[in-house]
């Protein structure tokens, strides 16, 4: 079985982990690195730049399973492909590197992130901060922090832990709503390949699958894209209940909506996520998302105190 992945250091670590879960070399599992449009610097209209070449290789029969960071996947797979498994999810939260907390940062401090969602949430919480684009892989961004190109940077806890760089985490930002799928791996296969489907499903975890399903249903209901600041994070409680937190806002942080919704243990994750999205739309999320598309990523801090609604 051939496991396809992007060639970045983090993607390779993730794919090798999946390959081990599938049985590793003794079971004939081969990891196949594939360069995507996103790796080459292409800026396509949506998240497909990170998965398009992997999906093409799947459809061509060149690989049998594609391992994606779930937050990179578009809301709908191409015809002939399906998401067959979600292994146990890592910590989905965002990490602050360079400061013990957001509150500890001085007014006007520079905070680096490549995420539109993180920038919007940070500006909504601390409009006095200067949020700057900081790109590159994890090691590059940590090097830029060490060179004081920023007072602090925000990265995913899961990525830092998977790369063995948890030592760089100075705080975990519970006040931010993570991106849909953050911390989760998505295993995509050909719909007709029963062997790969069964193998991917066997290493999937039901709770992780249900939580990702709810988050992706919310994204589809909102019609959100990678150009809109959106957070969605579902968790399963000890009683089996599903809780879904969400954030929709403008890139400059001036307006936002937050919500938290809980459903009982028997709730359908797909319907629950769609209902949460419908609730946000009724509160004005559609207008915010359309305005966010027009504003773009290079927004300055809000000129006045941010205005938001907690549903």
Residue listed under structure tokens 């779930």? 70
- Tokens matching residue 256: 């936002």
Catalytic residue, candidates 46, 64, 72, 91: 72
Q: Please write the tens of the pLDDT for every residue from 97-107.
A: 999 999 999 99
Helical H segments across 223-309, by residue range: 269-282, 285-295
CA count, 13 A, side-chain hemisphere, 154: 30
Helical H segments across 180-303, by residue range: 194-202, 206-222, 269-282, 285-295
Cα 116 to chain centroid, rounded:
12
Average pLDDT over residues 118-142: 94
Looking at residue 108, its pLDDT comes to: 96
Among the ranges given (118-122, 213-217, 263-267), the one the predictor scored with the smallest mean pLDDT: 263-267
CATH 3.50.50.60, domain 215-310, yes or no: no
Q: Please write the tens of the pLDDT for every residue from 264-279.
A: 989 999 999 999 999 9
Q: Phi then psi for 160, rounded to 5 degrees?
A: -65, -40
Q: Is there a catalytic annotation at residue 72?
A: yes
| Residue limits of CATH 3.30.160.40 in the chain | 215-310
Can you tell me the distance from the alpha carbon of 231 to that of 122, in angstroms, rounded to the nearest whole number? Answer: 12
When comparing pLDDT for 272 and 36, which is higher?
272
- The pTM of this model reads 0.92
> Any idea which fold 94-173 has?
D-Maltodextrin-Binding Protein; domain 2 (3.40.190)
Cα dihedral angle (212, 219, 118, 296), rounded to 10 degrees? 150
C-alpha torsion sign, points 88, 93, 96, 101: negative
Q: Please write the tens of the pLDDT for every residue from 134-191.
A: 888 899 999 999 999 999 999 999 999 999 999 999 999 999 999 999 999 999 999 9
Can you tell me the distance from the alpha carbon of 190 to that of 83, in angstroms, rounded to the nearest whole number? Answer: 9
Q: Phi then psi for 53, rounded to 5 degrees?
A: -70, -35
Residue 180, C-beta contacts closer than 8 angstroms, at least 6 positions apart: 70, 71, 212, 215, 216, 218, 219, 230, 231, 232, 233
Q: Phi then psi for 230, rounded to 5 degrees?
A: -140, 130
| Residue limits of CATH 3.40.190.10 in the chain | 2-87+184-204, 94-173
Residues pairing with 246 in the sheet: 232, 259
- The CATH architecture of the domain made up of 2-87+184-204 is 3-Layer(aba) Sandwich (3.40)
Cα 192 to chain centroid, rounded:
28
Q: Phi then psi for 257, rounded to 5 degrees?
A: -125, 140
Can you tell me the distance from the alpha carbon of 39 to that of 54, in angstroms, rounded to the nearest whole number? Answer: 12
pLDDT exceeds 50 at position 44: no
């Amino acid at each position: 079985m051939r496991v396809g992945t992007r060639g970045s250091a983090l993607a390779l670590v993730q794919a090798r982990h999946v390959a081990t879960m599938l049985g590793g070399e003794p079971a004939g599992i081969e990891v196949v690195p594939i360069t995507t449009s996103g790796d080459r610097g292409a800026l396509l209209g949506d998240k497909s730049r990170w998965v398009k070449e992997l999906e093409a290789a799947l459809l061509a029969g060149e690989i049998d399973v594609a391992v994606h960071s779930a937050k990179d996947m578009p809301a709908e797979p191409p015809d002939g492909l399906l998401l067959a498994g979600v292994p146990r999810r890592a910590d989905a939260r965002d990490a602050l590197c360079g400061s013990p907390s957001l509150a500890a940062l001085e007014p006007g401090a520079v905070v680096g992130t490549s995420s539109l969602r993180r920038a919007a949430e940070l500006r909504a919480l601390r409009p006095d901060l200067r949020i700057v684009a900081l790109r590159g892989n994890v090691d590059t961004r940590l090097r830029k922090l060490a060179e004081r190109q920023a007072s602090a940077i925000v990265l995913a806890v899961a990525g830092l832990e998977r790369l063995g760089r948890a030592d760089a985490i100075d705080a975990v930002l519970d006040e931010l709503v993570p991106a849909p799928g953050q911390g989760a791996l998505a295993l995509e296969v050909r719909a007709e390949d029963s062997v790969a489907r069964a193998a991917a499903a066997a290493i999937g975890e039901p709770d992780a699958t249900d939580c990702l399903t709810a988050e992706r249903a919310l994204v589809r209901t909102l019609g959100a894209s990678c150009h809109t600041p959106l957070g969605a994070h579902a968790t399963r409680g000890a009683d089996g209940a599903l809780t879904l937190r969400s954030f929709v806002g403008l890139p400059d942080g001036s307006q936002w909506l937050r919500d938290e919704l809980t459903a009982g243990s028997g709730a359908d994750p797909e319907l629950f996520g769609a209902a949460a999205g419908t609730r946000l739309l009724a509160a004005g999320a559609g207008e915010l998302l359309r305005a966010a598309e027009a504003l773009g990523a290079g927004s300055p801090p809000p000129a006045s105190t941010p205005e938001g609604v907690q549903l």
